[in-house]
Each structure stands twice: as C-alpha cells, then as structure tokens.
Copies of this chain bind each other. A is one copy, B any other.
C-alpha cells in the first residue's frame, strides 16, 4: 500500500509526499499534529494538515528567517521568537555568541514536545542556558510585556487564519514595535506572493504602516504552496543589505542554505511582486 499525505491549499493546489510511515498522530487543544517519515524530505511535520517543515528543507526556512536580521542588527543580545515550536529558528539564533537571551513564545506545547522527540535531528539546543521557553499566545504576550526591550523579534507563525490571524495585523505590529529597542528589527514570515498574493501584499503594506521600511525577501520552500515563500524585514533604521560582513561570513560557514550572496539576492523583487506592492 503506497501511502501519501497531501496538503490541499484553498481547494486549488495540493502538494503530496510519499510517506514511508507515520511516526506520530495527535491532537492538541489547538490543532492536529502529525510527523511522518517521507521518501523525499526525510521526517516532516504537519499541523492541521498543512506541511510545516521537514529534515530536507528546514534549513531554507530557519536560516532565512534568522540570518538577514541577526547579521544586520546593531544590537542582538535579546531576541524574541513567536511561534516556531519545532525549534529550528531558535537553533539558528543560538549560533550567535552575541545573543545573550532568547525567548520562545509558542502557543502549543504539543508541537515542542513532538518536535523534541521526533525531530531530534534538527539539533535544537533546548538546554541552552540562554533560552527561555514560554507556552503562551504571542499576541497577548507582547500586549502585556513590560520587560527589557528586545533587539530583534522573529514571527514564525502559521498561516493568517484561525489563532494566528492576529499575528499579521496592525495592533500586533504596534505591540511589537513598543517592545523593541529604537531601531530594532521585526522579521515575519509573510506567505507566498503567488499562492497567497493578496495576503502577502496586505501584510507587507501593514508592516510598512508601522515601520519606516519593510522589505520582503524570497526563499524557495518546496513544502509550501507554490514553493516561493516570503519573509519581510521591518525596521525604522536598519538596512538589511548593510549587514556585518564578518558576522555573516562566520554564519555562512556551517549554513546549508544561507550565504552572503544569497542574503543580497533574496531581496530582489520580480516585476509581479513590484506590481503587487505598487512599487
């Protein structure tokens, strides 16, 4: 019996992977959680039937949500990650000795527990003394936050529907800005400019309303609808292309996807993106 698991997006496109075996099937109070061993992408995690990450392509996503921000940040001692319970994003953040404190705010404890057990190959240093994991809603966390401001906030959320919807709206970005140092950086995943072109354009424009600049950049993520994914870099002061060469060179060594040429190239916008954004 040939097993396949297909993610169907918007009743218009679907991506299936051949599955060798199921490793975990569960249900939290928020969503269904699956881990499967696939023939092409190694172990893969799906939440609520949508592919999230896999051993084969996770470096594309996790390196690229982190390194454009952390190689260009003027200060990077305090980093907040919202979502990202598989741990790939914090693994990349913790590669910087300059980082002294990372807070991970994940809504769903089951995602972390399942990732620790079944995606241990991700090599996440869950025991790093600089890491503080909180199981909470990221929106409420930032609304109520009154501690030391963060230098960088990374928003590693799922699609803007259901519980994650508020992560892509103006009140949340205003909260994020309030919790950042002046000239701090927010990077958010911002969907596909092809499969979710309206969401993509709306979110980038919403970020532009809260920050002096908000530049989308693009990364191939084979498991996501259309395969062309975006992140957006928002800051009042920092230019993502004026990164620290020495820091970026150090991170380039030991990365599977990221390097300095890719960092620069990722910010190039195809004509259809310029048109979507009216630029």
Listed in ascending order, the chain A residues whose CB lies under 8 Å from chain B are: 2, 4, 6, 8, 10-18, 38-41, 56-57, 59-60, 194-195, 218, 220-222, 226-228, 252, 255-259, 261-262, 264-272, 274
Contact = CB atoms under 8 A, between A and B. Distances in A.
B220 A220 contact: yes
Contact of A226 (B2, B220, B252, B267): B220
A169 to B, nearest CB: 25
Contact of A194 (B8, B218, B222): B222
Contacts of A40: 10, 12-13, 195
A84 to B, nearest CB: 21
A262 B258 contact: no
A234 B226 CA distance: 28
Contact of A271 (B13, B38, B257, B270): B257
Contacts of A255: 271
A176 to B, nearest CB: 28
A12 to B, nearest CB: 4
Contact of A4 (B14, B60, B228, B262): B14
Contacts of A195: 40, 222
A269 B18 CA distance: 28
Given A228-B222, A270-B259, A272-B256, A16 B13 contact: yes
Contacts of A270: 60, 256-259, 262
Nearest to A39: B12
Contacts of A266: 265
Q: Which of A14, A41, A265 has the most CB of B within 10 A?
A: A265
Nearest to A4: B14
